[in-house]
């Protein structure tokens, strides 16, 4: 685990301060230089997150390029989130959790059927939340409307998905405590797409999905 880093920004000075309930989505443009803090209000919550270049959403967060550039799986302070065009999108500037996942992807109705039981299709899932946010957002970003094909591999802030040296993928209990946060500085104008994970079939949310707080400060 990396060294934890905190920042002392004042929430009272934030340009935006919203709470996103579990099972809800959040789609928000972030301007270059703005700082986004995601606060895990009650701990052990997974926050599934994607980023798109605001002017050209065909350019988007690239999990593989990001991991490859830092030579490691887990995201923490100092990680540069790279786009599919190899450009820095955001930098993680503070992290009081220590490790974030970008291999585990987002839960979906369909993958819940595979992973847990065929009759789990009815439950809420992150990918449905992403799709609803994209459908609502249609027409607002530059370029063609975003669709399912645009749901690339996301970040799971606060989620712990260790890979062993033998190549086993495991879902470990969260390491995020009440009030843990991660802070990101935008290096370009980006669209932030969040699903505050509603998964009830595994311990990624400690079996109890809870709200998160989004704070945005201007440059």
Partner 1 sequence: MSEVFHRETLRGGQKWSRIVKRHQALRLIDASSGGGAGATCVAALLFNAADPAERYNMPDTLKAQFSAFLTAGRVLFSDMGHILASFTSDTCGWHDTLTGHQDAAGAAARFGSGTYQDLRNDCPRNTRDNVLVELVKHGLGRRDLHANLNLFAKVVTDEAGRFAWVPGNSHPGAYVELRMEMDVLVVLSNTPHPLDPATAYGPPPVALELRRVPPPAADDPCRVARTENGRGFTLTEGLFR
Interface ranges with partner 1 (CB under 8 A): 58, 62-65, 67-68, 71-74, 84, 86, 103-106, 108-111, 113-115, 117-118, 127, 147-153, 162-163, 165, 167-171
* β-bridge partners, 95: 5, 182
Nearer to partner 1, 42 or 62 (CB): 62
Residue 90: name the closest of 72, 105, 75 by CA.
Answer: 75
Least distance from C-beta 46 to partner 1, angstroms? Answer: 13
Residue 160: name the closest of 192, 126, 206, 94 by CA.
Answer: 206
Residue 9: name the closest of 152, 215, 195 by CA.
Answer: 215
Which token pair is 67?
A: 């991991």
Nearer to partner 1, 29 or 162 (CB): 162
Enter the DSSP assignment of 60.
B
Nearer to partner 1, 81 or 214 (CB): 81
Enter the DSSP assignment of 218.
-
Least distance from C-beta 75 to partner 1, angstroms? Answer: 10
Question: Measuring CA to CA, how many Å separate 80 from each of 17, 90, 93, 103, 213?
Answer: 24, 6, 9, 16, 22
Least distance from C-beta 7 to partner 1, angstroms? Answer: 24
Nearer to partner 1, 72 or 135 (CB): 72
Residue 215: name the closest of 1, 6, 5, 12 by CA.
Answer: 12
Least distance from C-beta 39 to partner 1, angstroms? Answer: 24
Least distance from C-beta 116 to partner 1, angstroms? Answer: 9
Nearer to partner 1, 93 or 111 (CB): 111
């Amino acid at each position: 685990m990396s060294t934890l880093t905190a920042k002392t920004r004042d929430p009272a000075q934030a340009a935006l301060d919203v709470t996103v309930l579990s099972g809800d989505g959040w789609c928000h443009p972030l301007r270059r230089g703005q700082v986004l803090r995601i606060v895990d209000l009650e701990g052990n919550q997974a926050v599934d997150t994607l980023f798109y270049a605001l002017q050209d959403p065909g350019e988007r967060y690239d999990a593989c390029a990001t991991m490859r550039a830092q030579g490691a799986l887990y995201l923490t302070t100092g990680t540069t989130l790279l786009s599919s065009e190899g450009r820095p999108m955001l930098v993680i500037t503070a992290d009081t959790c220590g490790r974030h996942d970008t291999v585990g992807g987002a839960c979906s109705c369909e993958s819940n059927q595979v992973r847990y039981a065929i009759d789990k299709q009815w439950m809420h899932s992150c990918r449905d939340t992403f799709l609803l946010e994209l459908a609502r957002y249609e027409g607002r970003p530059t370029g063609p409307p975003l669709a399912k094909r645009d749901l690339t591999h996301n970040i799971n802030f606060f989620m712990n998905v260790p890979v062993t040296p033998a190549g086993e993928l495991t879902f470990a209990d969260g390491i995020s405590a009440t009030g843990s946060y991660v802070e990101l500085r935008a290096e370009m104008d980006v669209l932030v797409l969040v699903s505050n994970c509603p998964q009830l079939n595994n311990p990624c949310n400690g079996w109890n999905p809870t709200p998160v707080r989004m704070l945005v400060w201007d440059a």
